Structure 1
């Protein structure tokens, strides 16, 4: 059997995980999980009904007091044990990501490394949830700021990072002392279930983590409006995030919203233009461009524009697109048919107004799109305004620093941004001027497990990752004591 055939044969029975019990499809409606490479069904995913959702939230609520009071050192041991188990299952886990997402195996394994590191980092950082003493106004008082776990958490994750996004939400919540009900994507469910199984084997008490799937609008409304859940952490589109935020207001629920992006890249002429173009192609077309922080709007200083465009188009055209299980594949399919239609619409709009350069991709079944580069289109073209969540990049020139910054900041989105320059002075000016939650200068990594990650403007609010992200799951409180008079 080929690696793909072995992976399909080993695809697990899909289940819900509620109150420490694995719940199968018996007596429940199911929805198919589709392999984007072949368009064939991989399995049948059980859809949580109203009783399942209520049971999951009730389990998280019941488990919260004991988990809240579990010492951080003990919580951390479970998280580290889970990370060790997950690392030992990297090959199997990567094959599931390749099947469900279409991500090449090497890229899936790299994602798994980051997901495991998130558990390890949270395990350690959970021991440093310090309060602080505040200088009192009189010797007869003591003033302290402390924090408590916010409570049971509802979490919703997208399909494009099926290991990293659930790992970030689950590890942060658990390290902070919260319980969680998470709805991963119905398109990529098996990956999140690998995490749940590892946590169960690591000794996590029942009800601390619950995993449900089903109708996204229904589950979103339930998470946003149920008063038992005290925080909603959501990764997804801006419009849905705004709708959920409005619903959360009814229960004064805290929120972390990581929403859409359309990341600008400012390339200054004092950069190594050929090297930036080559590395930019790798960054842009990683995971078929289906990354929230994917570089999409390339703005190149005018003297270097033509050279950059030529090098970028050449490198993009050489990308090998194919089955993610093939060792020489650099880019797989996009995840679903909706993405194909949306990206083709952007390319067609651009083709009528400028230049579109596209590479090769397989024919036949599968959600295939070639690496595509758009250039010479006016700023009212759709691609300058709508996030191309896939293998499409747009390139144009700029004449001055101010023009570049104005274009980078023009949209209402501000999740990630990138810049390349040989000038320390330009770097410092960009750090102050660019409106984005993450700005990476002279490299392509917008976040690490130990750093805060989140957007500004319509790209969301609140933070994940780093000490700041862990504190999102905590409620600060002020406690003051006046000492009795002797």
Structure 2
């Protein structure tokens, strides 16, 4: 891990010159892994100048040649996936099997964007005047400022980098200070593949300082942010003030709906896997489990059985199925959610407490049952290993309860009825709905939310569109 020279500016790795430093910790033990140097305003100014120069070079590189470089980057990411996965687990804490999936999938995202960038077609509009030509060209929007979170340090950032570069934009990526090393190694792969100097820059810094400085710069023409709703609101407002395009992928509070006619065993097994993946620190994680009364007890028994058997421990241990939380603050937050739910009348069926005997940031996989909608865990995103289970009787009721919150990122539903599945798909107010399986976050599909969960998408053709702008050209021969 090279925490002393973590900044990539104009093709060179350098130390940050900010007076502050950031300690990177192992969430499995709480021990320091090293001290990260951070970007000062002088460093950021250099990155902005580099991004402007890099954009002038990269935008003039043909889509065909850009794609070849990105395909090489994808291959390098696959070759280096094990190294990157080890770094993810060390700094973020998730089990190594999950880290390998994250690192191994990064190349697929780059491949998708490489090919999609070659097919960013414009269109020819039939003219009203003979001899005229009316063309719509799709051109890169310009240098991008991208801000990525710690929970998926590679898979979140790679979407932003690959989308921007495939469109012909340059990018300044602000990685997460808690989990920097995997981001550094990922950017090395793009650099080694031949991305020109300045087209890709990587910064770490004091988050509010970096976002404010970059977004207000005349160089930056597009902002992409993944993170919390409050920060997203602030950055979206700042981007709007300076008339910058913005993509926001913010928090969620996904409903997980199990109907009477569902395969209960399959729903319980998948629900536990999705809920406790990355210790519940997933924006699209199911958190509100609504189960129809006829199968409520059967689902709860199966779900609790899966949850209680999960092995909790350090991510590098092969037996571990759920790792630690990111920091001590998250452990305290889980305790507060559980205590509030108890006071509201919920029952703790399994878990509900810190894991003792360790210095790491561990909390037990927790299932709360008969949770009233007034409990805080049903209103605020827990972002941790807590599943809140409640009963429902009719589709109309559960759709209204699922839609009652301002969040609208993802939803899950299980039913054997085509009519019910169609009704749920049509009426759930969110950017993504997955029915009877987990079908989210593939490179070729859009990932994004509605309402307070943000706007815009990453992934799929929609993800590339976010980095392109139309230019209408009307001409006639002379």
Gap change, CA 1:480 and 1:15, over 3 Å in 2: same
Number of matched pairs = 475
Matched-pair contact (CA < 8 Å) for 2:17–2:39: no
**Per-residue deviation, 1:223:** 2.3
**Per-residue deviation, 1:335:** 0.9
**Per-residue deviation, 1:447:** 2.0
Q: Who is 2:450 aligned against?
A: 456
Q: Who is 2:208 aligned against?
A: 217
Matched-pair contact (CA < 8 Å) for 1:14–1:44: no
Q: Who is 1:183 aligned against?
A: 174
Q: Who is 2:241 aligned against?
A: 250
Which range moved further: 384-393 or 245-254? 245-254
1:333 aligns with 2:324: yes
> Distance between the aligned counterparts of 2:59 and 2:17, measured in 1?
34
Q: Who is 1:263 aligned against?
A: 254
> Of residues 5, 21, 26 in structure 2, which corresponds to 1:35?
26
> Of residues 343, 351, 356 in structure 1, which corresponds to 2:348?
356
> Distance between the aligned counterparts of 2:26 and 2:178, measured in 1?
9
> Of residues 292, 313, 316 in structure 2, which corresponds to 1:322?
313
**Per-residue deviation, 1:47:** 0.9
Q: Who is 1:396 aligned against?
A: 390
Matched-pair contact (CA < 8 Å) for 1:14–1:190: no
Q: Who is 1:7 aligned against?
A: none
1:368 aligns with 2:362: yes
**Per-residue deviation, 1:29:** 3.5
> Of residues 163, 167, 180 in structure 2, which corresponds to 1:172?
163
> Distance between the aligned counterparts of 2:197 and 2:183, measured in 1?
17
> Distance between the aligned counterparts of 1:428 and 1:264, measured in 2?
16
Q: Matches of residues 59-78 of structure 1 in structure 2 within 5 Å? A: 59-78=50-69
Which range moved further: 362-371 or 164-173? 362-371
TM-superposition CA deviations, 1:429-448 (whole Å, max 9, x none): 11210111011111123221
Gaps of 5+ in 2: none
Q: Who is 2:229 aligned against?
A: 238
**Per-residue deviation, 1:28:** 5.2
1:410 aligns with 2:401: no
TM-superposition CA deviations, 1:228-260 (whole Å, max 9, x none): 100000000111111111111222100000011
Which range moved further: 251-260 or 24-33? 24-33
> Distance between the aligned counterparts of 1:228 and 1:162, measured in 2?
25
**Per-residue deviation, 1:224:** 2.1
**Per-residue deviation, 1:26:** 7.1
Matched-pair contact (CA < 8 Å) for 1:14–1:43: no
> Of residues 412, 420, 434 in structure 1, which corresponds to 2:414?
420
Q: Who is 1:6 aligned against?
A: none
Matched-pair contact (CA < 8 Å) for 1:11–1:42: no
Gap change, CA 1:406 and 1:26, over 3 Å in 2: closer
> Distance between the aligned counterparts of 2:19 and 2:191, measured in 1?
24
**Per-residue deviation, 1:379:** 1.1
SS of 2:48's equivalent in the other structure is helix
State TM-score, norm by structure 1.
0.95
Matched-pair contact (CA < 8 Å) for 1:321–1:362: no
Gaps of 5+ in 1: 1-9
**Per-residue deviation, 1:13:** 5.1
> Distance between the aligned counterparts of 2:117 and 2:44, measured in 1?
28
> Distance between the aligned counterparts of 1:363 and 1:477, measured in 2?
62
Q: What RMSD, in angstroms, separates the aligned Cα atoms of the two structures? A: 1.4
1:470 aligns with 2:464: yes
**Per-residue deviation, 1:27:** 7.7
SS of 2:34's equivalent in the other structure is strand
Q: Who is 2:135 aligned against?
A: 144
> Distance between the aligned counterparts of 1:82 and 1:122, measured in 2?
12
TM-superposition CA deviations, 1:259-313 (whole Å, max 9, x none): 1100001111111101210111011101111111111111111101111111111
> Distance between the aligned counterparts of 2:472 and 2:332, measured in 1?
53
SS of 2:59's equivalent in the other structure is helix
> Distance between the aligned counterparts of 1:25 and 1:180, measured in 2?
18
**Per-residue deviation, 1:161:** 0.5
Gap change, CA 1:239 and 1:25, over 3 Å in 2: closer
TM-superposition CA deviations, 1:108-155 (whole Å, max 9, x none): 011112211101111111100100111222323222211110000000
TM-superposition CA deviations, 1:3-44 (whole Å, max 9, x none): xxxxxxx67655111111101257854211010001011111
> Distance between the aligned counterparts of 1:14 and 1:102, measured in 2?
23
TM-superposition CA deviations, 1:393-446 (whole Å, max 9, x none): 111111101001101111011001111111111111112101110111111232
> Distance between the aligned counterparts of 1:257 and 1:435, measured in 2?
17
1:382 aligns with 2:373: no
TM-superposition CA deviations, 1:306-348 (whole Å, max 9, x none): 1111111111000000111111110000111221121211111
Q: Who is 1:5 aligned against?
A: none
